[in-house]
Amino acid sequence: MIIKNLLALANLILFLNYFPHSIRAEVHDMQVERVRALGQPAVSNLMLRLKENLSGALINSGPVGALKFCNSNAEKLKEQTEATLPSGLKLKRTAERVRNPNNAPDQAEKLALE
């Protein structure tokens, strides 16, 4: 009887230790999906605007003008796109491998890139 109670208690402890982890993982997965659902259209919109503007600058001013356009206007276009997002969401240039360490992903961004 004591052994059965100890086994039941051990199973309960294991269950209680596992259960919060599984809930946290499920909540985390839901948060990642929500961020992706909000972010993907914003990124697509920004990339389309950048491409259109960059193409125009390339046609009108050549490669040097297009480069100048990017240097002076890409950040403004990003900020305009961010203004359409829910409060607290920001766009950032990052990737799994980056040339510029300032663009390195943080922990949350690494999870989103997976």
- Greater confidence (66 vs 6) lies with 66
Q: What is the mean pLDDT of residues 30-36?
A: 76
The confidence score (pLDDT) of residue 12 equals 46
User: Model confidence over 36-82: pLDDT tens digits?
Assistant: 787 788 888 888 988 899 899 999 999 999 889 888 888 898 889 88
Q: What is the mean pLDDT of residues 11-15?
A: 49
> What is the residue-wise DSSP string for the chain?
-HHHHHHHHHHHHHHHHHHHHHHHHHHHHHHHHHHHHHHHHHHHHHHHHHHHHHHHHHHHHHHHHHHHHHHHHHHHHHHHHHTTSPTT-------SS-SSGGG---HHHHHHH-
pLDDT of residue 34 exceeding 70: yes
Tokens describing residue 30: 């839901």
Percentage of the residues of the chain whose pLDDT score is greater than 90: 10
Tell me the C-alpha distance between 46 and 36, whole Å. 15
List the chain domain ranges.
49-83
Contact 69, 59 (CB under 8 A): no
